[in-house]
Each structure stands twice: as C-alpha cells, then as structure tokens.
Amino acid sequence: MSILEQIQGPRDLDRLSNEECKQLAAEIREFLIAEVAKTGGHLGPNLGVVELTIALHRVFESPRDPIVFDTGHQSYVHKLLTGRRDFSMLRQRGGLSGYPRRAESEHDIVESSHASSSLSWADGISKAFMRTGQQDRFVVAVVGDGALTGGMTWEALNNITDDNDRNLVIVVNDNGRSYAPTIGGMARFLNSVRVTGSYRDLQEGSERLFSRFGTLGQTVYRSARGAMRGFVSRASDNQDLYSNLDIKYIGPVHGHDLGAIELALHQAKDYGQPTLVHVITEKGRGYAPAENDVADQFHAIGQFDPGSGAALETGGDASWTSVFREEIVRIAETNEHVVAITAAMLAPTGLDAMAEKFPDRVYDVGIAEQHAVTSAAGLAYGGLHPVVAVYATFMNRAFDQLLMDVALHHAGVTFVLDRAGITGPDGASHNGVWDLATLQVVPGIRIASPRDEPTLRELLAEAVGINDGPTVVRYPKGAVGAEVPALRRTSDGVDVLREDTASGGVRDVLFVAVGPMSRVALDAAEILAQQGITSTVIDPRWVVPIAPSVTDIARDHRLLISIEDGIRVGGVGTRIRQAIRDAGVDTAVSERGTPDEFPDHASRAELLHDAGLTAEQIAADVIEQVRGTRIPIARPE
C-alpha cells in the first residue's frame, strides 16, 4: 500500500517521518498528473502546493483550524489529504468539484472561486473566534501572489493589522504567476525578495536541519525549532513592504522544502498574532511540461497525454474566444483609438494577440476588475475607446464601477464578457448566468449577444463605434459552431431566422432567442412544425434595449417565448414582457432561462437540460399547452 492510500485524514500525517513525507509528496504528484490527464483541471497550481499543503495539515488541525484557500483551484492536494481520492469524475456531475465545496467535506470552508477574498474571510472568522471565547483556534488564509493585486486583499490587511490579538496566519503562495506572470509593483517587490540571500540561506539551513535530525521524529524537530529560528530569515528593512503594516513577517521560505515550511508555520503559530508567511513555490513543480509551460496551458487544462503533456484532440472548431482574439486585432489595426484592458487574464480572454502586436495599447491590471472598469472610464474621457475583456462571472465584482463611473458619465467603454451563461465544469461561482439580469438595469447600457462568428465580428465592430455610453458583447464558453444565417434583417437590426407560413396572418409562436440560443429556438420550431404549429424565430442581436420591431412582430403571434442562458428572474425575458405591454400588445409571454439558484458543476448540456433549455423540452411544453399531450424527453448523455 502506498503512503497516499493510508491517508484517510490530516491526522494520519502526524506519524510520518520526514522521508515518508517526501515520498508522499512524490506520490501525490504522480496521482495528480495521472488523474487530471483523464478529466482536465487545474494541474499546474496544485503541483506547486504539494509540500505547502502537507505542511499546513501537519502544523494546523483542520477543520478546527479553518484553512481558507484564496480562489481554491489549488485545493486538489487538500482534498487528497482530507480523504477524497476518487478523482475519476473530477469537475463532472456526481464527482469532486474543482474547488472547495462544503457539501464534500467539513474541511472545505469557502466555496467561492473569486480571488482576493480569503483575507476578508479569515479576518471575520478570527474575530468571531475571539468574541466567542475560542482563543485556542487558528485561522489560516492561503493567498497567491496574483491575488495580492486585488484591492480586497489590501482592505483586509488594513483591518487585520489594526487588531493584533488573534490567531491568524496568512500564507502567501508566491509563484510569480496567476494565470500568467503576475504584473505590477507588487510583483516587482516580491521578485526582489526572491533573489535575496535570505531565501538561499533558508534553503541551505533547512537542509542542514534535517540532515542533522534525520528520522529521529517530529518530537526532536519541534523541540529544536525555537533554536533554529535563525534559519527563517526576515527580509531586509528596505524590502519589507509589510513592516509598515505592523504585521509579523516570516520569509521568504522555500516552498518545496517541508522542513522549512513547517518551521516557518510553527513560528507563525507561536506568535499568537496575525503573521504573514511568504512561501516561494514553483507552479507545475515535478512535471517538466508544466514547469516549462510559459503559456500557462497547465494552469487549467483539458485532457492530455501524461507522458508528453500534449493536449488531446477535442475537435477543430473555432472557439468564441479565438474569434474575438482575431477580430479585436483587426479592429485595432483600423482604429487607433481602441485600447484594451484585462484583469490578469490576457490569454484566456483572447487579448494576447493584440498585446503582442500593440503592446502599448493593452493593459493588464492584475486581479483588479473594479480598477479596470474605472480606469477604462478615464481612458474614454481621454479620447480613447477601451475594450474591457473579462469573464462574465468576474464582471459581477465591478458592477458599481460600471454603474457610477462608466454609465453615469456616458463613457464609451465596451465590455467583452467571455464565458457568459452556463459554463459547466468549474461550478457555481464560474457560471456567467447573472450578467444579463444585473447589467440591463444600468441606464443607457447596450447589450449584444452574438449567435455565431459573423455576428460576433459585426457586433464587436458596432460596439466599439458607440462612444456615448457602455456597450456589452457577451458570448459563452466553447466552440462557436456553424453559421446561422438570417432570412432578413429589420430596419432596427433584428434578424429574422425563420418564418412559417401564417394562417390568417397570425402565427402560433414567436421565439426571441438570445445569441447562441438561436439554435435551440430553430430546433424547437422545427419540432413544432412537425405538429402543425407555426413559428417565427428572431435574434435581436442587441438584446438591450428592446428593438421596436420585436414588439411589432409579437403582435402577429399568439405566444412569445424568450430563450436566454442567463438567470430567468430579471432577465431579458422580463424586459421583453414589459416592452410589449408598454406597446399595448396582448401576446402571451413565456420567459425561459436558468433558475434563480447556483448551478452545480456539470456539463453545459446537463445544466441546460436541468433548466429546461433544450429544444425538445421547450417544444414539448408548447405542444402540451396547445395539444394537451406531452412528448417524452430523454436526458442528455
């Protein structure tokens, strides 16, 4: 039996010798490479925190001492050490989540996978422990150097350092990267600390420590740690950013030397006040393809060959992101006023090509969506047209800035929201189902949802041509699919995709489809046609505001069905309902969207089925309403 197979919980680590811990680390890396190769997932970040996670669970007593992972994509090792070894369905329905999840284990504290929030969580938990007489409990926040670019981290630090009477340990997992190399002044500071002699001395000191004590056991080691504190070097005064925050600082510590990490964590634990432990790790440690991954493909990867590290073929269809990547460069070539901003996601959003061709026109601000949006308002005031490219779920963090800094000031800023709607495997916090409901309440906003590659290109061009207010272009994750041609376009820009022959001038159903849901609407219309039910399918292209032709076309139909892959409550469908009522149209309206709940991790097809957003389900509902019979629906594979 391997050492990993003997680990049912964190306390099983206590009996391991130093050599056994090293063997466990090697086994964990082998396990992760083999398992993630089958399912895909966040491999690079987890290979980098193997020793750190082992040390955390040996020094602290989870869950009594809560460990809060910032972002949480680096929690695979934590899952293994807390008894979860079945990775066969990682990020799939019924399998382990790719992030901490309370329903899985009492050891998982914070589920949200949005960065820079762990210190605020730790601040609140540690305050609660002090107020409720639990002074013997510790709280540990594990935050990456990339998350230090987020403003919430510094808001939390400001409060943490104002109250020193509590057991709070902040571990900075510094690998110089988030999705890509960490940028900005913070990154330059941390890089300067990495190359100081203290880091090299610490590594050598820890090696001497364990060569001296060998396998005599943790009792000897722990009794000696007080005398060995000199090996945990404090950064020089001219480099110590944290000294001005009045917080204890330990480091930098070699992040792949178990002895060094445990020594530092024990010292932090002994202080009895907020302490920051700076740990230097290597993303992708122990797997050459990931270690040499300059493009960060192993940060979040699909299925791959574990021998070579090569990604397995998943089809050659262009993705929505790749179409944007190409089109934004073309637009930038013809419009010198266009600049771009992203929040630590240059390649994932597709801005890397523009950054390569126009490096002085693309700004990566780090994990700082709020700053990105208000900075964009300033760029617009200065005469430029900024394009802010982020994942739809992360746009939630900058709503106030969009409302008060961009919209209120009529700033011409285009927001490109990748991964909009249902994304699937990454789970609740990564689905982009809230953008339509939240953003459409912003006065003066214009929201576009392309259905295919040509409409993405034309809507992006139209968006950057609008300079009197915010525009949004949103699209889902995955392949863009085949072109969906229009029969005609109305004078106000609505595309008519299907028009059945009407009996007496009135058709049965009008489908108003938001972007990619056009294919669902067309398939549903075809099913209805086989039952003798007539339909029209339209794609508004610009879904907010509602084009007048939508209400005009609705007059000639008995039922209007809106279909969107966003939350139904407060979604585009409700806006369409208001618009046709305001126009005095009495057509019945049925809004189809996702339920007002957090989607679980599952495939996009499974989640669309759960929400009733398949062509078969929608058609069945109409047929039942019209004919009084229900056709059987099969669940997706």
Output the known binding site for Mg(2+).
145, 175
The residue with tokens 């820890």 is 206
Q: Is position 127 annotated as part of the catalytic site?
A: no
Q: Which of 22, 137, 248, 397 is catalytic?
A: 397
Query: Is the Cβ–Cβ distance between 468 and 412 less than 8 Å?
Result: yes
- Helix axes of 258-271 and 18-39: crossing angle, nearest 10 degrees: 100
Q: Is position 369 annotated as part of the catalytic site?
A: yes
Q: Is position 38 annotated as part of the catalytic site?
A: no
DSSP string, 305-322: -TTT-PBPP---PPBHHH
Tokens at 393, concatenated:
């779920």
φ/ψ of 81, rounded to 5, equals: -75, -10
Which parts of 311-413 are beta strand (E)? 338-342, 362-364, 385-391
Query: Is the Cβ–Cβ distance between 28 and 50 less than 8 Å?
Result: yes
The residue with tokens 């594979």 is 637
**Residue numbering of the annotated binding site for thiamine diphosphate:** 73, 113-115, 146-147, 175, 287, 369
In Å, what is the CA distance from 2 to each residue of 21, 30, 307?
Answer: 12, 12, 22
Query: Is the Cβ–Cβ distance between 575 and 568 less than 8 Å?
Result: no
Q: Which of 51, 262, 327, 369 is catalytic?
A: 369
Torsion sign, CA atoms 562, 566, 567, 570: negative
Q: Which of 79, 283, 474, 568 is catalytic?
A: 283
Closest CA to 234 of 268, 285, 211, 258: 268
**Residue numbering of the annotated binding site:** 73, 113-115, 145-147, 175, 287, 369
Pairing of strands 67-69, 139-144: parallel
DSSP string, 576-599: HHHHHHHTT---EEEEEEE-SSPP
Pairing of strands 414-418, 471-474: parallel
φ/ψ of 284, rounded to 5, equals: 80, 15
Q: 429 burial class (0-12, 13-18, 19+ CB within 10 angstroms)?
A: middle
Residue 13 CA to chain centroid, in angstroms? Answer: 32
Which residues participate in catalysis according to the annotation? Answer: 283, 369, 397
